[in-house]
């Protein structure tokens, strides 16, 4: 089943040179080694003993890639059932790497379920400090709790629309806004259900919601803090437009920081879209190209511009 014509037309403007195969099935499944429960070398040794074909990941020491055929069996193993390995997309892992949470800090994950990034944040903090995980959809909080329990991650949970949250206490050194989006970066041609509900109307609805989430999240950030905004979509209305709007709305109070990531397939952000121009003082967000290892993603990193 082909993609909707309107989506294809938009994509030609966003990605003029479209590499072959970016919407094909992913050849690899990525797993995060959960260092709250095991060491990296110990996990490698366990995979070798189980005769699992795996590859190390050049940009992340605690991630491994497993062929999809082998991943199905690995997902049934004790390594996964006991929370030593956790199936998590590399693009998801990257967002938390850019956030760079550290032990002892106060960190907020504003849109937390299902818990992949939340548990990774807790892992990098070594469960030291304060991690608040908010999930607005009550039913999804159960999944979040399950993932935290499985991985041994600790977090304070809340369930409220992120746009309605109110700052309490001293604020947070780091805030993650992994925003709900139109999910275009997850589209695959062999899974029509992945794009069955796509529409420009949905994109506009998501953009409006994302702006509210990002603006309110900024109110929780301590001076000198780091905030990361991420989506898994191509749509400029949900990416460049949200970032540009936020920078203008906050009147110079925040600026972009170039994410320090290497060995990642990226492509340029847009400076204009459908008659609108975008400006990114201080740095440029990352547009991550889908490939055989990961889905498409967008990451923007901010800091309070008056505190460096």
Q: What is the pLDDT of residues 58-71, one digit of tens each?
A: 999 999 999 999 99
The residue ranges of the chain whose pLDDT is under 70 are 1, 306-308
pLDDT of 223 reads 92
What is the rounded CA–CA span in Å between residue 82 and residue 78? 6
The domain covering 5-19+89-304 belongs, at the CATH homologous superfamily level, to Vaccinia Virus protein VP39 (3.40.50.150)
pLDDT of 306 reads 59
Give the pTM: 0.96
Domain ranges for the chain, please list them.
5-19+89-304
Of these residues, 181, 183, 232, 269, which one is catalytic? 232
State pLDDT tens for residues 13-42: 999 888 888 898 889 999 999 999 999 999
Is the sign of the CA dihedral 160, 249, 297, 116 positive or negative? negative
pLDDT of 44 reads 98
pLDDT of 308 reads 46
What is the rounded CA–CA span in Å between residue 216 and residue 56? 38
Active site residue 232: yes
pLDDT of 51 reads 96
Tokens of 19: 């590499």
pLDDT of 49 reads 97
pLDDT of 1 reads 67
């Amino acid at each position: 089943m082909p993609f909707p014509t309107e989506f294809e037309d938009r994509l030609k403007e966003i990605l003029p040179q479209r590499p072959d195969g970016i919407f094909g099935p992913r050849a690899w499944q990525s797993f995060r080694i959960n260092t709250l429960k095991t060491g990296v070398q110990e996990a490698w040794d366990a995979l070798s003993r189980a005769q699992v074909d795996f590859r190390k990941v050049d940009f992340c020491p605690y991630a491994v890639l497993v062929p999809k055929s082998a991943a199905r069996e690995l997902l049934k193993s004790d390594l996964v059932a006991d929370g030593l390995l956790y199936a998590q997309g590399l693009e998801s892992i990257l967002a938390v790497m850019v956030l760079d949470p550290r032990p002892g800090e106060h960190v907020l994950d504003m849109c937390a379920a299902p818990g992949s990034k939340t548990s990774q944040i807790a892992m990098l903090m070594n469960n030291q400090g304060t991690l608040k995980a908010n999930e607005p959809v009550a039913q999804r909080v159960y999944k979040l709790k399950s993932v935290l329990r499985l991985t041994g991650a600790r977090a304070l949970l809340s369930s409220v629309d992120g746009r309605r949250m109110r700052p309490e206490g001293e604020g947070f050194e780091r805030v993650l806004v992994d925003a709900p989006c139109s999910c275009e970066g997850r589209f695959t041609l062999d899974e029509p259900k992945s794009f069955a509900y796509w529409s420009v109307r949905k994109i506009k609805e998501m953009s409006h919601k994302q702006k509210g989430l990002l603006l309110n999240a900024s109110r929780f950030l301590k001076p000198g803090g780091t905030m990361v905004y991420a989506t898994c979509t191509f749509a400029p209305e949900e990416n460049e437009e949200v970032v540009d709007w936020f920078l203008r709305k906050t009147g110079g109070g925040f600026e972009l920081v170039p994410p320090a990531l290497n060995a990642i397939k990226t492509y340029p952000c847009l400076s204009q879209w459908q008659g609108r121009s975008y400006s990114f003082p201080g740095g440029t967000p990352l547009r991550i190209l889908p490939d055989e290892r990961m889905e498409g993603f967008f990451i923007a990193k901010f800091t309070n511009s008056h505190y460096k």
